Amino acid sequence: MKRLIILALAVIMLVTTGCSRNARDTAGLPTAAVSPGTMKVHFIDVGQADAILVQVGQQSMLVDAGNNDDGEAVVNYLKQLGIKKLAVIMGTHPHEDHIGGLDDVIKAFEVEKIYLPKVNHNTKTYRDVLLAVKEKKLKAIAARGGQSFSLGEARVDILAPNSDSYQELNEYSIVCKVTFGASRFLLTGDAEKVSESEMLQNNYDLQADVLKIAHHGSSSSTGKKFLKAVAPQMAVISVGSGNDYGHPHRETLQKLASAGIKVYRTDLMGTIVMTTDGQKIEAATQRTAAAGK
């Protein structure tokens, strides 16, 4: 399935850290590099999959790229933003709904660095990604908790994986925290409760204003202790409408509601773009969620 990512937006929500949320209408997405002093995080609607773009000035980082059939759409989305080079690509873990489109992206753009978890996995999808990396004469960096790097004016801290061996492939997920001024985004791939427990045990600074809910809102992720440690004001769930897994699970939505966290969902709102000046965070959605959802 080749997905056309629509650029028209319906609603913009203005959120100031610690303050109430206000809404106003807007239209259009940025078509050029982000201005200095600003960071944009795009949660691209790729259905039951993940694709996240972080833009800081001239620097861009892509975290996952949807399913195999989403590669072309993700490439087109980046090109429509005027992107020609990616400073960093992260493939959080080898499941198709996260790395499926990465080979298309790697082939289409100049790439400086690529991070992958250190895991043995033998599928055609993963081999396609590794082949694209090899053809570009890149060497994948094995992601591990404790690593960090700069992305323009932002700092990226890798908080997981923290082990070399897991029973579940999801637990190998790269988890990274992007900090821009006082604004913090925690991107979690499909990390489940074992990985969450390790991050808590390692006393990582998990606090973030925006939490990308792991594993499309599955109850196997977003444990109570982990959510309390992150203490986000906003959460984003990348999920497909009417998916076979029942994502997002009711238990996860109830936890978020009980904590008073504003939830953005790609199945209801389409692509979500958050913009920050390092203090306030402004969220624009492709469409307005239906009442009662």
Which pair of structure tokens corresponds to residue 84? 């020609």
Token reading at 17: 């850290």
Region of residue 36 (phi > 0: left; psi between -120 and 50: alpha; otherwise: beta): beta
Percentage of residues in the chain with pLDDT exceeding 70?
A: 87
CATH topology classification for 11-285: Metallo-beta-lactamase; Chain A (3.60.15)
Supply the pTM of this predicted model. Answer: 0.90
Confidence of residue 32 (pLDDT cuts 50, 70, 90): low
Residue with the bigger pLDDT between 184 and 121: it is: 184
Tell me what the mean pLDDT of segment 191-211 comes to. 98
Burial 187-219 (b: 16+ CB within 10 A, else e): bbbbbbbbbbebbeeeebebebbbbbbbbbbbb
Number of H helices and E strands in the chain, helices first, is 8, 17
Here the tokens at position 165 are: 């061996």
The residue extents of the domains of the chain are 11-285
Write down the pLDDT at residue 104: 98
- CB count within 10 Å of CB 268 equals 17
What number is the average pLDDT over the span 275-289?
92
In percent, the amount of the chain with pLDDT more than 90 equals 84
pLDDT higher than 90, residue 171: yes
> How many residues does this entry show for the chain?
293
Q: What is the pLDDT of residues 88-126, one digit of tens each?
A: 999 999 999 999 999 999 999 999 999 999 998 889 999
pLDDT value of residue 22: 29
pLDDT band at 293 (very low <50, low <70, confident <90, very high): low
Coil, strand or helix at 276: strand
| Res 18: pLDDT | 34
